Structure 1
Amino acid sequence: MSCKLDRGTTHRILACLVRERLVCQRSNDRRYVPGPLLFELGLSLPAFAAFQAACSAPLDRVAKRLGGMSLLCLRSGSEFVCAASVGATPMKALTIDVGTRRPLIVAVGGVSILIALPREEARTIIAQNMKYVARFGAARIRSLERVIRQSETRGFGISQSDIVRGVSAFGMAIRDARGWPFASISVVGLAENFPTSRVPEVIGTLEEEARWIARQAARIFSTGG
């Protein structure tokens, strides 16, 4: 998203961030990426690393039982961040790497969190996200609106060739001890491997693992960190 800064100001800010090691510039393509200080700061939050590690088992179970790629996404304001994944997507272009950050509405994992939020808050986020998505055209907007409507009706994230033709995705919100949706678990795979008859199995599996992850989160974060 544009910050509406002129080129000179942008470079001065980047230079400062590089000096502080918050950002570094890759030598192969000169692109700016997160710097080592961010990793060092993250070491002071061991509970988050423990939570990420604890989620590998349920993601592995989902990927093996259902097929496709399973993902853990964390809410970050009006966006989601991929925190862990297991398996592979049917198309390389669909790959969501750990650390990927995107608007909530563009993937089922984000939509799962979105529909679990209070309605007014969800509407505000949808409006914000749509401004970003508008650059991709009207067809893209219509497909995402369809996914949101279907997900709201079903009570879980669902896309059956809506976002990407030939690809199905399902997601379930993960709630903290207060009942607040802070994350989601989802699975993505070829539509032919997820016929309508499998939806109850898919959702049952995701619900079970979402509850398991919620219990682990409550245990891990109860001690702080």
Structure 2
Amino acid sequence: MMDGLRGPMEETKDKSGKSQVVERTCLILRELGRHGPRGARLLDLTEGTGLSRPTVHRILATLTAEQFVERTNGRRYRLSSIMYELGLNAPSPVGDPARLRPIVQALADRCGDTVYLAMRTGDFSHYLLRCEGAYPIRTHVVSANQTLHLVSGHSGRSRLASMPEDEAEDVILRATQDRKLFGEATPDSLRDEVERVRENGYGWARDVTFVGVAGLTVPVPNARGSAYLAMSISSIPQRMTQERAMDILPELKATAAEIAVMISGD
């Protein structure tokens, strides 16, 4: 082939040896992942990746033909179930949660309360660790290795706030089929709480998941996209007042940042 007559999908490489086609495909897949099950419009993908419309359309056509991406009835694109199947064979981003226990336990020792680390799995929150502080009155509403819906706990609501708004709304709408999932909250009060977490970077609430329980939560930062981990501190409302929550918030954020660094370094 003569120079300058390269085909539209012929692979080119930059000076570092990276394939431009593969790099652009990865950009599109990451952007699709950010939009969740609802999917993304072609315009969303061009704006989110900075690629031209013809380039995005061409790569999407190939990904769709290979069944890594599917097109919805609403003319949106989303990751297909094949990506889930591939993910089953990928290692957990957390690895062995036991290695994080000393970090979480150290926070529980300092604050005296129960500290949780939870990970998102679809519409649910799986609790990886529960570490106890020395305060004698404890709020054992969730156990390690227990799974709750994202709308049912403080840490789940922290993850909802980290998602794009339309994806979080889809999760909430699916949960409305079973109002018991919301505990003492309502779908609308949950939306208000999630919005406050979005604005403030943390969540504090009491008597919403369970009467007699208050919680403080932050997402664990994820430089590659939405947070999939969250930390929370749980106690009785008389102890976890808003004033005290603000006092221990810096330590909770610092611990979440430490976990983020530890995981990203793997």
TM-score (norm 1): 0.67
Q: Structure 1 counterpart of 2:202, which letter?
A: F
Tell me what 2:169 maps to: 123
Cα distance between partner residues in 2 of 1:60 and 1:138: 27
Tell me what 1:188 maps to: 234
CA contact (8 A) 1:172 1:207 kept: yes
Which has more helix, going by share of residues? 1
Q: Structure 1 counterpart of 2:123, which letter?
A: S
SS at match of 1:193: coil
Displacement of 1:196 after TM fit? 2.2
Q: Does the alignment pair 1:61 with 2:106?
A: yes
Tell me what 1:75 maps to: 120
Which has more strand, going by share of residues? 1
Displacement of 1:106 after TM fit? 0.6
Cα distance between partner residues in 1 of 2:139 and 2:130: 15
Q: Structure 1 counterpart of 2:169, which letter?
A: R
Q: Does the alignment pair 1:110 with 2:139?
A: no
Q: CA RMSD in A?
A: 2.7
The runs of 5 or more residues in structure 1 that have no matched partner are: 1-41, 221-225
- Aligned pair in 2 of structure 1 residues 137, 68: CA closer, same or farther (>3 Å)? closer
The runs of 5 or more residues in structure 2 that have no matched partner are: 1-87
Displacement of 1:175 after TM fit? 2.6
Displacement of 1:219 after TM fit? 1.2
Q: Does the alignment pair 1:165 with 2:211?
A: yes
Q: Which deviations, in whole Å up to 9, do the C-alpha atoms of 1:85-117 show, x marking residues without a partner?
A: 10177244x1x1222111101100110111011
SS at match of 1:121: helix
Q: Which deviations, in whole Å up to 9, do the C-alpha atoms of 1:27-53 show, x marking residues without a partner?
A: xxxxxxxxxxxxxxx9x9487443x12
Cα distance between partner residues in 1 of 2:211 and 2:180: 20
Tell me what 2:138 maps to: 90
Cα distance between partner residues in 2 of 1:117 and 1:46: 20
TM-score (norm 2): 0.58
SS at match of 2:211: coil
Cα distance between partner residues in 1 of 2:184 and 2:248: 28
Q: Structure 1 counterpart of 2:108, which letter?
A: A
- Aligned pair in 2 of structure 1 residues 116, 59: CA closer, same or farther (>3 Å)? same
Cα distance between partner residues in 2 of 1:212 and 1:165: 31
Tell me what 2:255 maps to: 209
- Aligned pair in 2 of structure 1 residues 72, 190: CA closer, same or farther (>3 Å)? same
Tell me what 1:200 maps to: 246
Q: Report % sequence identity.
A: 17
